[in-house]
């Protein structure tokens, strides 16, 4: 009996070692411990609270990005979509419409952008990288025209409490992130659509020959990703109270880095959504650490980039086949 | 004379699983040694050790009188004159045939590679393997069989003294196999040696001088070809007689066709093909490699654009996509099992459940997959087809070819197909699994499925099918059934392109002592 529990335990340990998502949380734990020991202020509850709150903005975008990457796509328009959502919502809300119509308009536009991405990839067969990059470029140009270069600010009580409020001491933004992760986790790991997404990512030819609905799966993933980027934009709007054309920029590459550091294969077909949560927390923590060392913006970016590469080399390399 | 290559008591284990046990054999200069054994018997491992892809746990390899160094590698093996051609293709599809042949050793003039020089040097090599193609063609545009021959030309370009052919003929039709054999004999006459691995017994006996039989990682015996026969070798391989390889065929009147195709045409592949698929019957599509067999199946599964009328149960159906075909109860087991048949990076479980997700994750569960039902379904399929996997969670790429093929077939069974299309269902699969698949197909037909099979293996078509339609340049040129369905008639129709050919000597492409100058399709060479 003890032998059997022993085997089960060894197997579980082996599975954990083999799981890149577990690695992401392991590295996160070690980094956090190091931060508490060697940097100031990382042991306070307020700091943890602030960290998970800021990680939520990145995390929500990264959850959407995971859906797309799993089916071997990539979404390079998320920075544009984050800005689109915030700018449109602020403009509508500060103009004639109310807050609710601002939010609805913003999310509807984001869904439309996602649908355009999917249509280009599925029907026009444009490579995802090119298609979404082009969409993102069109978006930032369109926003410049739409706002005349001066985006409006808006104070929406709903978004404000979503971004800055707390539920039993836990930031609402973090709760929202967890809820989004739960729904997306169901979609990706428990539902039919998720199986189709994994199958598509593991091999398009075999997926087609097995009757996987390629179009519907791609639309679901790209639209979900764009809507989630839109949600992140709204929360950011609530956080800062103002919109800007470049507010989405940091989330473009960081969302992809979160996905990959979370152990998901950038080629699709392998990975777990929870890993992305670990990846987003890890990247946010690293950024906060670098800020606490008073490094200049430029040096910070250099160090962060090098750290991302280093971590990828440690546990998230693509295996040779 | 000292042997060219001598393998001495090689053993090899992977993760505690011993796959080779003290394997010893020799290859003499100027001989063709066949390595025979079921999938998993250790043939590939032996060859990987010889070519330096793997390092043995114990034992040694003596090449050319001296033990190979510890740093033996594929590169060194090539430099030492060991060339190899594998079943898995290694050509770069975007480069020309000539560039592929000389890959890594492009002749250059002051650092510039001249396409014309390359092409000129490639031509004699292509002639040696019986290929009449422009060396500047992109490799990816060639049909599978031709690409395999280009691989052979690439191996010959290195002027090997030992040529290893690992299932290198499995994608070839009989004429192309004849070309490979010519190249092998030519090499043998020059004093070169060949190690030959194939699942086709006729080929082994046609070309080899000696046969070494492997079973479960150990050498069972090495036999001179003159002193053995098919049954002897098969007995050594599996301990089973050959006679029950194919199941009994059905007799009695034919029912109404279930699927009827008329004027089925795919641009550039097949033209005005008429087929009737009858429940309970296995129909074969024969012919030389690349006569449109593959495209007929792809058209019927909605993977190839086609014109013509297809009716199912008398009602016309359109098949623009695989999803439409699947909805009509058509299932397809493709030729290219690693890219289309199974997801090699996904688990056996995920592969088996994929086509059944609509019933495993119904709308009333909001599309949530019923894990318990999935486990049941996967367990039943693994049991029913005897899929050998360590667990359903094992990745499909870790399975042997035969078990991958079982997965590619098994995954359709829960969807309740009525028409089953299979392309080359037993290519590169060991004889034991072949037998299981033949019997399974017959049982499925007995349960009322209409089965359509393409195969490059004449014996398989004759042994398995109730009727065989022979394709030649995209047209059906003959239909053989009952007593008329013989290997000779089938080969004749395939080669002549007519139903009533008269040349009795068509089978000589496989005969070991045929005069190369009179073989069909042979290229004159000095």
* Tens digits of residue pLDDT in B12-51: 887 556 778 899 999 999 999 999 877 667 888 898 889 8
**B115 and B221 belong to one structural domain:** yes
Q: Whole domain around residue B392: which residue ranges?
A: 343-415
For all residues of chain A together, what is the average pLDDT?
87
C-alpha dist (Å) from residue B72 to B53, B80, B90: 8, 10, 21
Gap between the Cα atoms of B65 and B73, Å rounded: 18
In this complex, do B342 and A206 lie within 8 Å of one another by their Cβ atoms?
Answer: yes
Gap between the Cα atoms of B71 and B88, Å rounded: 25
Residues in chain A: 321
Instruction: Give the contacts of B441 (CB within 8 A, at least 6 positions apart).
Output: B282, B420, B422, B425, B451, B453, B464
B526 vs A: CB within 8 A: no
**B314 and B457 belong to one structural domain:** yes
Contacts A191 to B, Cβ<8 Å: 361, 366-369
Within-domain flag for B336: no
At residue A313, the pLDDT reads 82
**B28 and B137 belong to one structural domain:** yes
Gap between the Cα atoms of B507 and B504, Å rounded: 8
- Residue after which a domain boundary falls, among B241, B275, B290: B241
**B313 and B374 belong to one structural domain:** no
Q: Tell me the residue ranges of DSSP E strands in B379-466.
A: 419-423, 450-454
Gap between the Cα atoms of A206 and A191, Å rounded: 20
Question: Which segment of A211-220, A310-319, B16-25, B41-50 scores lowest on mean pLDDT?
Answer: A310-319
Within-domain flag for B495: yes
Within-domain flag for B334: no
At residue B523, the pLDDT reads 38
**B304 and B352 belong to one structural domain:** no
Evaluate if residue B218 carries a pLDDT over 50.
yes
B359 vs A: CB within 8 A: no
In this complex, do B323 and A211 lie within 8 Å of one another by their Cβ atoms?
Answer: yes
Contacts B354 to A, Cβ<8 Å: 195, 199, 207, 210, 212
In this complex, do B343 and A269 lie within 8 Å of one another by their Cβ atoms?
Answer: yes
Question: Which segment of A288-297, B61-70, B356-365, B492-501 scores lowest on mean pLDDT?
Answer: B492-501
Within-domain flag for B359: yes
Name the region of A150 (left: φ>0; alpha: ψ -120 to 50; beta: rest).
beta
In this complex, do A206 and B341 lie within 8 Å of one another by their Cβ atoms?
Answer: yes
φ, ψ of residue B493 in degrees (nearest 5) = -60, -40
A250 vs B: CB within 8 A: no
**B39 and B119 belong to one structural domain:** yes
Greatest mean pLDDT range, A155-164, A261-270, B61-70, B438-447: B438-447
Q: Exposed, middle or buried, B274 (CB in 10 Å: 0-12/13-18/19+)?
A: middle
Q: Give A 210-249 residues with CB within 8 A of chain B.
A: 210-213
In this complex, do B366 and A202 lie within 8 Å of one another by their Cβ atoms?
Answer: no
Gap between the Cα atoms of B340 and B343, Å rounded: 7
Q: Give A 269-288 residues with CB within 8 A of chain B.
A: 269-270
Each residue's pLDDT tens digit, A113-122: 999 999 999 9
3-state helix, strand, coil in chain B (%, to 5): 40, 25, 40
In this complex, do A190 and B369 lie within 8 Å of one another by their Cβ atoms?
Answer: yes
- Residue after which a domain boundary falls, among B359, B382, B415: B415
Q: Which of A190, A191, A209 sits opposite B322 (nearest CB)?
A: A209
Closest by CA position to B174, among listed B467, B494, B512, B513: B494
Determine the average pLDDT of the residues in B384-391. Answer: 87
Between the two ends of chain A, the Cα-to-Cα distance in Å is: 38
From A206, which residue of chain B is nearest by alpha-carbon distance?
Answer: B340
From B302, which residue of chain A is nearest by alpha-carbon distance?
Answer: A209
In this complex, do A209 and B332 lie within 8 Å of one another by their Cβ atoms?
Answer: yes
Alpha helices by DSSP H, B129-214: 144-157, 174-189, 201-207
SS3 B262: strand
**B167 and B306 belong to one structural domain:** no
Evaluate if residue A304 carries a pLDDT over 50.
yes
Contacts B339 to A, Cβ<8 Å: 203, 205-206
Q: Which of A191, A193, A210 sits opposite B354 (nearest CB)?
A: A210
Q: How many separate domains does chain B show?
A: 3
Closest-CA distance, B411 to chain A, in angstroms, reads: 9
Determine the average pLDDT of the residues in B344-364. Answer: 89
The answer to whether residues B13 and B19 touch, using CB atoms and an 8 Å cutoff, is yes
**B315 and B423 belong to one structural domain:** yes
**B188 and B74 belong to one structural domain:** yes
ipTM: 0.85
From B398, which residue of chain A is nearest by alpha-carbon distance?
Answer: A321
Within-domain flag for B337: no
At residue B37, the pLDDT reads 78
Contacts B357 to A, Cβ<8 Å: 192, 195-196
The answer to whether residues A270 and A264 touch, using CB atoms and an 8 Å cutoff, is yes
Q: Which of B345, B355, B368 sits opposite A190 (nearest CB)?
A: B368
**B261 and B130 belong to one structural domain:** no
Determine the average pLDDT of the residues in A10-34. Answer: 78
Locate the domains of chain A by residue range.
Answer: 19-315
Closest by CA position to A67, among listed A230, A182, A222: A222
Q: Which of B303, B345, B369 sits opposite A209 (nearest CB)?
A: B303
**B406 and B510 belong to one structural domain:** no
In this complex, do B340 and A199 lie within 8 Å of one another by their Cβ atoms?
Answer: no
- Residue after which a domain boundary falls, among B415, B441, B474: B415
Determine the average pLDDT of the residues in A300-312. Answer: 86
Within-domain flag for B187: yes
Each residue's pLDDT tens digit, B441-457: 999 999 999 999 998 87
In this complex, do B341 and A209 lie within 8 Å of one another by their Cβ atoms?
Answer: yes
From A205, which residue of chain B is nearest by alpha-carbon distance?
Answer: B340
**B433 and B324 belong to one structural domain:** yes
Within-domain flag for B338: no
CA B409 to centroid of chain Cα atoms: 16
Evaluate if residue A269 carries a pLDDT over 50.
yes
Closest-CA distance, B360 to chain A, in angstroms, reads: 8
Within-domain flag for B235: yes
Fold of A19-315: ABC transporter involved in vitamin B12 uptake, BtuC (1.10.3470)
Gap between the Cα atoms of A38 and A55, Å rounded: 21
**Domain harbouring B114, CATH code:** 3.40.50.300
């Amino acid at each position: 009996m003890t032998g059997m529990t022993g085997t089960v335990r060894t197997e579980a340990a082996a599975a954990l070692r083999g799981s890149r998502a577990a690695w992401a949380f392991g590295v996160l734990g070690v980094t956090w411990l190091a931060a508490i020991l060697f940097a100031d202020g990382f042991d306070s509850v307020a700091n943890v609270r602030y960290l998970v709150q800021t990680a939520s903005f990145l995390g929500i975008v990264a959850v959407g990005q995971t859906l797309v990457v799993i089916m071997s796509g990539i979404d390079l328009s998320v920075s544009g979509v984050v800005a689109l959502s915030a700018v449109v919502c602020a403009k509508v809300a500060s103009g004639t419409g109310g807050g609710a119509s601002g939010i609805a308009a913003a999310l509807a536009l984001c869904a439309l952008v996602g649908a355009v991405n999917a249509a280009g990839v599925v029907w026009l067969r444009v490579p995802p990288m090119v298609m979404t990059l082009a969409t993102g470029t069109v978006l930032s140009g369109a926003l410049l025209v739409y706002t005349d270069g001066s985006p409006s600010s808006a104070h929406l009580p709903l978004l404000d409490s979503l971004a800055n409020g707390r539920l039993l001491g836990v930031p609402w933004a973090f709760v929202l992130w967890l809820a989004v992760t739960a729904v997306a986790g169901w979609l990706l790991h428990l539902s039919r659509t998720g199986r189709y997404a994994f199958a598509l990512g593991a091999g398009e030819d075999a997926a087609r020959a097995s009757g996987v609905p390629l179009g519907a799966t791609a639309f679901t993933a790209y639209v979900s990703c764009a809507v989630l980027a839109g949600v992140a934009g709204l929360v950011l709007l609530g956080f800062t109270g103002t919109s800007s054309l470049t507010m989405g920029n940091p989330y473009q590459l960081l969302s992809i880095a979160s996905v990959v550091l979370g152990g998901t294969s950038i080629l699709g077909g392998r990975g777990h959504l929870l890993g992305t949560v670990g990846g987003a927390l890890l990247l946010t923590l690293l950024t906060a650490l670098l800020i606490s060392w008073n490094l200049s913006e430029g040096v910070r970016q250099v160090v962060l980039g090098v750290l991302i590469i280093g971590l990828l080399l440690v546990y998230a390399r693509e295996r040779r086949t | 004379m000292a042997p060219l290559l001598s393998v001495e008591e090689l053993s090899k284990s992977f993760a505690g699983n011993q796959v080779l046990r003290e394997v010893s054999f020799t290859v003499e200069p100027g001989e063709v040694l066949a390595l025979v054994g079921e999938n998993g018997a250790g043939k590939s491992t032996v060859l990987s050790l010889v070519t330096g892809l793997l390092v043995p746990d114990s034992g040694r390899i003596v090449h050319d009188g001296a033990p190979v160094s510890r740093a033996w590698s594929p590169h060194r093996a090539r430099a030492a004159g060991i060339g190899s051609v594998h079943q898995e293709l290694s050509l770069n599809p975007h480069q020309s045939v000539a560039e592929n042949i000389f890959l890594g050793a492009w002749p250059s003039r002051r650092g510039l590679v001249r396409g014309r020089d390359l092409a000129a040097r490639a031509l004699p090599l292509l002639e040696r393997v019986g290929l009449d193609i422009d060396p500047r063609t992109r490799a990816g545009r060639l049909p599978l069989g031709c690409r395999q021959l280009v691989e052979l030309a690439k191996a010959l370009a290195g002027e090997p003294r030992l040529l290893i052919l690992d299932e290198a003929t499995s994608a070839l039709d009989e004429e192309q196999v004849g070309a490979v054999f010519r190249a092998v004999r030519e090499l043998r006459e020059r004093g070169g040696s060949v190690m030959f691995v194939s699942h086709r017994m006729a080929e082994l006996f046609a070309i080899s001088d000696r046969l070494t039989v492997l079973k479960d990682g150990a050498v069972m015996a090495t036999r001179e070809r003159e002193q053995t026969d098919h049954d002897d070798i098969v007995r050594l391989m599996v301990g089973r007689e050959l006679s029950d390889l194919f199941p009994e065929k059905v007799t009695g009147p034919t029912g109404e066709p279930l699927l009827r195709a008329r004027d089925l045409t795919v641009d550039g592949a097949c033209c005005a093909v008429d087929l009737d698929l009858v429940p309970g019957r296995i129909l074969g599509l024969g012919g030389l490699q690349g006569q449109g067999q593959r495209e007929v199946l792809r058209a019927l599964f909605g993977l190839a654009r086609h014109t013509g009328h297809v009716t199912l149960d008398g009602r016309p159906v359109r098949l623009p996509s695989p999803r439409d075909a699947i909805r009509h109860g058509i299932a397809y087991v493709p030729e290219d099992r690693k890219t289309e048949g199974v997801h090699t990076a996904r688990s056996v479980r995920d592969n088996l459940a994929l086509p059944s997700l609509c019933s495993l994750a119904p709308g009333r569960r909001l599309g949530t997959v019923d894990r318990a039902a999935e486990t049941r379904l996967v367990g039943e399929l693994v049991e029913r087809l005897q899929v050998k996997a360590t667990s359903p969670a094992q990745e499909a790429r870790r399975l042997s070819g035969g078990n991958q093929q079982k997965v590619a077939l098994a995954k359709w069974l829960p969807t309740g197909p009525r028409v089953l299309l299979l392309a080359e269902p037993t290519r590169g699969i060991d004889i034991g699994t072949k037998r299981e698949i033949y019997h399974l197909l017959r049982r499925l037909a007995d349960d009322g499925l209409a089965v359509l099979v393409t195969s490059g293996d004449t014996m398989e078509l004759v042994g398995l099918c109730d009727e065989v339609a022979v394709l030649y340049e995209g047209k059906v040129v003959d239909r053989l059934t009952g007593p008329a369905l013989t290997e000779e008639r089938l080969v004749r129709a395939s080669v002549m392109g007519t139903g009533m050919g008269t040349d009795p000597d068509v089978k000589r492409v496989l005969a070991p002592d045929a005069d190369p100058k009179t073989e069909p399709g042979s290229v004159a060479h000095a």
